[in-house]
A = this chain, B = another copy of it.
Amino acid sequence: MGNSAERSHAVKKLGEMIKDIDFAMMTTVEEDGTLRSRPMSTQQVEFDGDLWFFTRESAPKVEEVENDRRVNLSYASPEDQRYVSVSGTAQVVRDRQKIEELWSPALKAWFPKGLEDPDIALLRVRVEQAEYWDSPSSTMMHILGFIKALATGQSYEPGENEKLDLSKRAGR
């Protein structure tokens, strides 16, 4: 596969892995180097390599990503033992048109004033690397795999662990 086909495969795969996990834990680096995370609701638009999150512009995490743009997003679905790590860089976006495009009424829970709220902003995370751990989808399959490993002395393979490299963008 060429770079472009490879990238489009990676984008599609990552989109599938995270599409039903509403909240990611976003880890940022504080000024003193402390790593902090908090739950963030991923905006459900078709994934094209960027992930979008609504935020308050006054939130501490906005200051943190302006100091150090590197973030990690972890998506966990304990139910089917699916875990995804996304590495990327974040940027605060204040573009009204983009805010309106991504807005949905459910966001009023966090922004009661709606689009009139002057503190409303977006975080765009440009995905550079992603990995996932994907066990068989049913818990039973998982337990079977686990027990089989115990019985045979073979090392347990908790499903696939594929690395996705999204940094090979067209025109970069």
Question: Which residues in A have some Cβ–Cβ distance to B below 8 Å?
Answer: 21-23, 25, 27, 29, 33-39, 70-72, 74, 76-79, 81, 83, 85, 87, 105-106, 108-110, 112, 128-129, 131, 133, 146, 149-150, 153-156
Contacts and interface: CB of A to CB of B under 8 A. Distances in A.
Count of identical protomers in the assembly: 2
A9 to B, nearest CB: 21
Contact of A35 (B22, B78, B87, B109): B87
Contacts of A39: 76, 83, 133
A25 B85 contact: yes
A146 B74 CA distance: 24
A131 B85 contact: no
A72 B35 contact: yes
A5 B43 CA distance: 41
| Top 8 closest pairs, chain A to chain B, by CB | A35-B72, A109-B156, A25-B74, A76-B76, A37-B85, A39-B83, A27-B27, A37-B74
B36 A85 contact: yes
